Structure 1
Amino acid sequence: MATSIPEKLQVLVTGGSGFLGTGIASALLDKYPKWRISILDQRPPDPQVAHRLDRVLSADIRVAESVHKAFLDYNPDLVVHTAGVIPAGTKRYSRKEEDWLRVKAVNYDGTRHILDAALASGCKLFVYTSSCTVVTDDMEHDYFYMDEKIPTGLATLHYGKSKGMAERYVLSPEHAGKGLVTCALRPCTIIGPTDTAVISRFHEVIANGETNFIVGDGNNLYDFMYIDNAVLAHILAVENLLTKQTAAGHVFFISNQEPVYFWDFLAYVWAQFDHVPKYRVHIPETLAWAVASVLECKTWLTGTASALDRGSVRDGSRSLFANNDKAKRILGYEPIVGLRLQKIPSD
């Protein structure tokens, strides 16, 4: 364990061409220009970042041999593992075995392959991007001010279940026994420029003419997180593992620390797209559930997916927001960008 940040370091960011990974790689390049920052991804990196990288590695993280081949002549000092897949649209609520296997192959098996290859290369520092869904994908409950004491392993949706499995693998005492120093971050829903996953969903609701209702009483609170804050939390985790290591073996919820009324926030986002519903009707959750069931049947018959299904009804009526006290205390995390100051990207 060092007492100060090393002047030179070899760092790998997996998923480094993605929304979060690009932000982390760019921030590390800016803050530590003498570090050798590389990414691992199957997609090409952002052109503004690419020329500053030490290496661009390509591997299919679902396949152990592909990952180990990428590490053959590469020995990072630290890995930030952001690579993963988030099921989009109605796939988020899928119960199909083939969908589970696809998500598990990337989020769990892929994490195992990256960590195992990193250990084999001699790497001893590992920051894992988990997700708040390791808790909240247990759809039966609201989560008010959730913290790290809440047990995991109860998630029923593919994404949260796979991320929880990967989180437990990363933080396994077996790996600590081999000298691996790790921590995991659980960001909430991340938004910002170049985001496509969340914003495309908002566009989809507009396109389907489904902005005129509010499920439930509309008083449910929800955490969104601006990308700069998610990047900052990862940088702080990296710096902690390089110095004090007080974060070692820990998980941390991170958010903007400003939960918003879910349906009010959606209305704000729609307004950025010049869409203001002419009216909005409160629909009881039980009625919305019934309507969603009908729309799911329509989807099955016509093949045209609706943005409203039983899963989204439940998600849209729950309160889900986190307590960041642990991240503040150990990492020194404080959000630097508030939601209300941002213009939502149009694409």
Structure 2
Amino acid sequence: MARDKAMEILVTGGSGYLGKGIVEALVEKHPDWKISALDIRPPPAALAERLYQFIEADITSAESVNNAFVDYSPDLVVHTAGIVPARQSRYSTRKRDWERVKAINVDGTKHVLDAAMVAGCHHFVYTSSCTVVIDDLAHDYDNMDENVPTGHATLHYGISKAMAETYVLSPKHAQNGLVACAIRPSTVIGPGNTAVISLLHDLIAKHETYFIVGAGDNFFDFMYIDNAADAHVLAVENLLTTRTAAGHSFFISNQEPVYFWDFMAYVWAQFGHVPRYRFHIPMSLAWTAGFVLEWYTWLTGSAPTLDRGSVYDGIRSHYSNNDKAKKILGYVPKIGLVEGARLTCEDYKKHLAAHATESQAMKKLQ
């Protein structure tokens, strides 16, 4: 790493949750670097003030991305821009949903990488996902590492991330001078991210906290946002110096696999809810109920928590071995899962309170 030169780093998806975390981590650790963000929407004002520049671009458009790299060649690109299908969309089989995911996660990645290389940037950190493996709902993946093959995912997100990762790490690009690696985070939680916690919190109001599907002994991986951002910073530093991470993918998590159903109970407890009892539902019964609710959803347009996909997700074990990231990147999670989950819940309480205040104000105006 050239100490006499201020490195120029571009973070795509810099206005998104993980992207913001990576930008903040880079700015904190390397205040002399020029950190830019590319996104379809501007970042929060507080973050924008810390950026070298913000570039507005739509990664689904090759022209838009190419324009972003006109007269601009960063030393490295961290490509984290993407779409994560949430809730029932996670299990969608509709072609139009796939086309949207593909346009952003696969085609968007190709547009960014191609434009960066044409501009002379040959260092690239790709934000992949553990779903390149675990979106194969038919199997458990205990202590999985990077030797587990991809290509078996059946859900849109995992399929798209595997395709994009394969493109980035293609030997063809390496032969053309690309120095790249892929980071595969587990499910990320943290303040400001309501996706996971809102789903678990909603179960309280729906009175769906009293059952456990299957034996309830399946393990799951979560990770705190700061740890995910740190891993990306370590990857950036590696590719700009020793380059020992080049050509590799890395699973990262909090290295604290937990019983999935116990984690939910911990989250509920943060909101003062402790189920009086919990009974086990056989997987076959839950699967049938999920099938019925899918039809109910189709007929009514409602959004039930339970469907066949969530049943499969709720009974499987999948957690990763981070030894490779530890050895090559020096990755060690700094914030423990218990503390990370507590901080996430505390932030969500503020979100709920703000939403309640806003709703009351709207009612007064009506």
TM-score, length of structure 1 as denominator length: 0.97
Change (3 A) 1:273 1:68: same
**Paired residues for 1:129-148 under 5 Å:** 129-148=127-146
User: How far apart, in 2, do the equivalents of 1:279 and 1:297 lie?
Assistant: 29
3-state SS in 1 of match to 2:125 = strand
Structure 2: tracts of 5 or more residues without a match: 352-366
Other-structure match for 1:218: 216
3-state SS in 1 of match to 2:124 = strand
Q: Does 1:274 align with 2:272?
A: yes
**Paired residues for 1:44-83 under 5 Å:** 44-83=42-81
How much has 1:45 moved relative to structure 2?
0.8
Q: Does 1:298 align with 2:296?
A: yes
How much has 1:293 moved relative to structure 2?
1.0
Q: Does 1:152 align with 2:150?
A: yes
**Paired residues for 1:92-107 under 5 Å:** 92-107=90-105
Q: Does 1:236 align with 2:240?
A: no
Other-structure match for 2:312: 314
Would you tell me which structure has more helix in proportion to its own residues? Answer: 2
Change (3 A) 1:5 1:243: farther
User: How far apart, in 1, do the equivalents of 2:230 and 2:52 lie?
Assistant: 22
**Paired residues for 1:83-94 under 5 Å:** 83-94=81-92
Number of aligned residue pairs: give it: 345
User: How far apart, in 2, do the equivalents of 1:267 and 1:124 lie?
Assistant: 46
How much has 1:317 moved relative to structure 2?
0.3
How much has 1:48 moved relative to structure 2?
2.0
Contact 1:221 1:260 in 2 (8 A): yes
**Paired residues for 1:166-205 under 5 Å:** 166-205=164-203
Q: Structure 1 counterpart of 2:107, which letter?
A: D
How much has 1:204 moved relative to structure 2?
2.9
Other-structure match for 2:12: 14
Change (3 A) 1:207 1:104: farther
How much has 1:7 moved relative to structure 2?
4.4
The counterpart of 2:243, out of the listed 242, 245, 252, is: 245
Q: Structure 2 counterpart of 1:68, which letter?
A: N
3-state SS in 2 of match to 1:304 = coil
Structure 1: tracts of 5 or more residues without a match: none
Q: Structure 1 counterpart of 2:263, which letter?
A: F
Q: Structure 1 counterpart of 2:244, which letter?
A: T
Other-structure match for 1:127: 125
3-state SS in 1 of match to 2:274 = coil
Off by >4 Å, runs of 4+ in structure 1: 4-7
How much has 1:5 moved relative to structure 2?
5.5
The counterpart of 1:285, out of the listed 283, 286, 291, is: 283
User: How far apart, in 1, do the equivalents of 2:247 and 2:55 lie?
Assistant: 28
User: How far apart, in 2, do the equivalents of 1:109 and 1:154 lie?
Assistant: 20
Q: Structure 2 counterpart of 1:298, which letter?
A: Y
User: How far apart, in 1, do the equivalents of 2:204 and 2:290 lie?
Assistant: 17
Q: Structure 1 counterpart of 2:16, which letter?
A: G
3-state SS in 2 of match to 1:185 = strand
Instruction: After superposition, give the CA deviation of every residue in 1:83-104 in whole Å (9 maximum; x if it has no partner).
Output: 0100011110011111100101
Q: Structure 1 counterpart of 2:167, which letter?
A: Y
3-state SS in 2 of match to 1:145 = strand
3-state SS in 2 of match to 1:127 = strand
Q: Structure 2 counterpart of 1:318, which letter?
A: R
Contact 1:5 1:243 in 2 (8 A): no
**Paired residues for 1:253-272 under 5 Å:** 253-272=251-270
Other-structure match for 2:355: none
User: How far apart, in 2, do the equivalents of 1:14 and 1:293 lie?
Assistant: 38
Instruction: After superposition, give the CA deviation of every residue in 1:230-258 in whole Å (9 maximum; x if it has no partner).
Output: 01110110010011100000000000001
User: How far apart, in 2, do the equivalents of 1:29 and 1:80 lie?
Assistant: 14
Other-structure match for 1:111: 109
Q: Structure 2 counterpart of 1:43, which letter?
A: R
Q: Structure 1 counterpart of 2:41, which letter?
A: R
How much has 1:140 moved relative to structure 2?
0.8
User: How far apart, in 1, do the equivalents of 2:16 and 2:237 lie?
Assistant: 22
How much has 1:47 moved relative to structure 2?
2.2
